[in-house]
Amino acid sequence: MKKLVFMDHDGGIDDLLSLLLLLTIDEIELIGVSITPADCYLEPGVESSYKLLQLMGKEKDVPLGRGEYHGVNAFPPAWRAQPEVVNFLPMLINLPPSPDPYGIPNAVDLMVEKIKNASQPVSVLMTGPCSNLVLALEKDPSIKENIAEVVWMGGAFEVGGNVQTFQHNGSAEWNVFWDPINAKKMLAYELPLVFIPLDVTNHVPVGKTFLSRLAKQAEYKLSDLTGQFWATTIDTIPSYHYTYYMWDILATSYLALKDKFEVAEAMVDISVRPPNEGQTLLTSSGYKAKYAFDVDQEAFYEYMLQQFKR
């Protein structure tokens, strides 16, 4: 029996790569995708997602949901515009247009419907902020009983964060920082939650060695396309020296490669005020959760190369 997965992403390059990866995993049935307008603008984020579903022949099987909630701390506009670049890539530009983003279901409603009516417990994969899941739980708390696990690319526990902004000490990770209030609320639901934080994603940079290996199998269409995706990240804001990591795609691979990860269980809390707003904290009085801190790097890279040989 296939594992049922609902994905909530926020439209960045890594999110879209994660969606593409999910669609290559034969053991997974993707039952819905919602787009949070955090690291993307909604319209190009929906268009990119729909085009990837079309590419994989899944546009009629996997419904899309429109996120309407906007977090406390906005992502930089230049980052949010990146999905527009994806829509102009040669393999995607001439695909039929996506549906009207404002005509598809609300993300929270879609999440409630798909989880509540699923034939077995659902794994929820979040590669952006967790807001839609919290809002879905607030709307219908009963869906908690049909959630098998929550895998969230978020947080930084024993390493520095990646938020560099006014009145912040750099301890937070962006997906948590965007909406720390709902992130803290999510902990209180005591879901079967696994963080894939910067502690482990720092082990998997997007480097020239991997991209070169990927380019050597460019006769496969997905390898060619994903190589183009990753190539757009080399000049990532704020500087050419800023390292782009496989944040979201590593979290996605956890669904298939759990035995390649080192995971700890801890009591966790989240700060909701400056100077460490959004910081994920290891405490003695927080909420129980798990977080990954290491991964078999070569096994992960090899898995990516094999999955994109299509």
Cα separation, 119 vs 121, in Å, equals: 7
The residue whose two tokens read 């800023």 is 242
Global pTM value: 0.96
Per residue, what are the HEC states of 79-144?
Answer: HHCHHHHHCCCCCCCCCCCCCCCCCCCEHHHHHHHHHHCCCCCEEEEECCCCHHHHHHHHHCHHHH
**Average pLDDT estimate for 299-310:** 96
Cα separation, 143 vs 113, in Å, equals: 9
Q: Which residues pair with 42 in a beta bridge?
A: none
The residue whose two tokens read 């609320």 is 185
pLDDT tens per residue, range 166-186: 899 999 999 999 999 999 999
Cα separation, 250 vs 240, in Å, equals: 23
Higher-confidence residue of 78 and 95: namely 95
Cβ neighbours, 10 Å, residue 58: 15
Cα 37 to Cα 18, 34, 46, 211, 283: the distances in Å are: 16, 10, 9, 28, 31
Paired tokens of 102: 């404002």
| Mean of pLDDT over the chain | 95
Cα separation, 294 vs 310, in Å, equals: 28
Candidates 43, 16, 2, 17; CA nearest to 304 is: 17
Query: What is the structure's pLDDT at 235?
Result: 64
Residue 239 has pLDDT above 60, yes or no: no
The fraction of the chain above a pLDDT of 70, given in percent, is 97
Cα 5 to Cα 29, 34, 113, 125, 270: the distances in Å are: 6, 12, 13, 7, 26
What is the band of 79 on the pLDDT scale with cuts at 50, 70, 90? Answer: confident
Residue 238 has pLDDT above 70, yes or no: no
| Contact predicate 150/193, CB 8 Å | yes
Cα separation, 287 vs 188, in Å, equals: 7
Query: What is the structure's pLDDT at 237?
Result: 46
Cα separation, 246 vs 303, in Å, equals: 13
pLDDT tens per residue, range 121-130: 999 999 999 9
| Contact predicate 172/276, CB 8 Å | yes
Candidates 107, 115, 177, 103; CA nearest to 135 is: 107
Least confident of 53-57, 58-62, 193-197, 240-244: 240-244
Residues 6+ apart with CB under 8 A from 31: 4, 5, 6, 62, 114, 118, 122
